[in-house]
């Protein structure tokens, strides 16, 4: 077989794993290892790293979902991990609200199942182990779709956005809570210093391992800036795409409608 010189051959697709370039096909396994390592301490670490702010950000996200309190409401929370967002949606809705927590990582889901047993609205949750890039649901199955701090881990971002669009009903809403670009002078340098110096240290003390948290901080820096991400949401077919920055842009909530 004739080998093409590198300039003419098709380079294997690559993805960012934090600041490291890895083969696209290998990224998911690396991401899975990160969440295998942190699953048992994941919720505690979220509180410690964000000083509890992640609870407020998630409450704002769920206030935008507005699940119906008196009619059926089918909600999908992708990369839902330990069910933190799903439990909030279930509690905000009524008895006919059903929330599917989908995640690729069985360890994260198993923590979520244990939490759901203890939570008042936990019986409204169902857990599905699957990939955001290939959702195991029919078209138009859900009234709303959320993904919180998850989409930047998915190797094929545009495939995940396309699937989000496919599984939503017409009139359904896509909402994504994700770290963003800090836009307050002074806060950006403070935040960067905190992220790179303190977060891996907290990770080592609490989880016994700093590497997963180094990945987390690096992956935030590599994620597209909010206006670029809005364009990708529009390219997936969503209309009226917009974003709202919270806490000086540390995070943003992105929204799009399937119309």
Ligand X SMILES: C[S@@+](CC[C@H](N)C(=O)[O-])C[C@H]1O[C@@H](n2cnc3c(N)ncnc32)[C@H](O)[C@@H]1O
- Residue 146 CB, nearest approach to ligand X (Å): 8
Q: Select from 102-110, 113-121, 182-190, 200-208 the region that touches ligand X (CB under 6 A).
A: 102-110
Is there binding between residue 153 and ligand X (CB under 6 A)?
yes
- Residue 256 CB, nearest approach to ligand X (Å): 18
Of the candidate residues 65, 99, 108, 176, the single one contacting ligand X (CB under 6 A): 108
Determine the size of the site formed for ligand X (CB under 6 A): 20
Query: Scanning residues 30 to 69, which ones bind ligand X (CB under 6 A)?
Result: 31, 35
Which is it for the CA torsion 130, 124, 86, 69, positive or negative?
A: positive
Is there binding between residue 103 and ligand X (CB under 6 A)?
yes
Of the candidate residues 67, 150, 200, 203, the single one contacting ligand X (CB under 6 A): 150
Nearer to ligand X, 111 or 182 (CB): 111
CA-closest candidate to residue 112, choices 153, 120, 103 = 103
Is there binding between residue 122 and ligand X (CB under 6 A)?
no
* CB-based contacts of 134-141 (< 8 A; 24+ apart in sequence): 134/159, 134/163, 135/76, 135/78, 135/102, 135/163, 135/166, 135/167, 137/76, 137/100, 137/167, 138/167, 139/166, 139/167, 140/167, 140/168, 140/169, 140/170, 140/172, 141/74, 141/76, 141/167, 141/169
Is there binding between residue 133 and ligand X (CB under 6 A)?
yes
Say if CB 73 and CB 95 are below 8 A apart.
no
Is there binding between residue 79 and ligand X (CB under 6 A)?
yes
Is there binding between residue 93 and ligand X (CB under 6 A)?
no
- Residue 7 CB, nearest approach to ligand X (Å): 32
The alpha carbon torsion through 62, 64, 67, 69 (nearest 10 deg) reads 100
Phi, psi (5° rounding) for residue 148?
-120, 120
Nearer to ligand X, 29 or 189 (CB): 29
Site residues (CB under 6 A) for ligand X?
28, 31, 35, 79-81, 84-85, 103-105, 108, 131-133, 148-150, 153-154
């Amino acid at each position: 077989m004739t080998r093409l010189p590198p300039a003419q051959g098709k380079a294997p697709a690559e993805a960012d794993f934090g600041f490291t370039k890895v083969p696209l096909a290998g990224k998911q396994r690396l991401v899975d290892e990160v969440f295998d390592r942190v699953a048992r301490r994941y919720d505690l670490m979220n509180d410690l790293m964000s000083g509890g702010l992640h609870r407020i950000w998630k409450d704002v996200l769920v206030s935008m979902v507005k699940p119906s309190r008196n009619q059926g409401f089918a909600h999908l929370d992708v990369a839902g991990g330990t069910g933190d967002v799903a439990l909030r949606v279930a509690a905000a809705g009524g008895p006919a609200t059903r929330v599917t927590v989908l995640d690729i990582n069985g360890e994260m889901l198993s923590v979520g199942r244990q939490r759901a047993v203890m939570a008042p609205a936990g019986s409204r949750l169902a857990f599905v182990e699957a990939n955001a890039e290939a959702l195991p649901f029919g078209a138009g199955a859900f009234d709303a779709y959320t993904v919180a701090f998850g989409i930047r881990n998915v190797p094929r971002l545009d495939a995940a956005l396309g699937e989000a669009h496919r599984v939503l009903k017409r009139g359904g809403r896509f909402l994504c809570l994700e770290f963003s670009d800090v836009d307050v002078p002074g806060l950006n340098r403070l935040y960067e210093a905190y992220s790179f110096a303190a977060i891996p240290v907290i990770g080592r003390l609490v989880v016994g391992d700093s590497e997963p948290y180094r990945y987390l901080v690096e992956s935030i820096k590599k994620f597209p800036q909010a206006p670029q991400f809005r364009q990708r949401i529009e390219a997936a077919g969503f209309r009226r795409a917009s974003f709202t920055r919270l806490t000086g842009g540390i995070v943003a909530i992105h929204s799009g409608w399937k119309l």
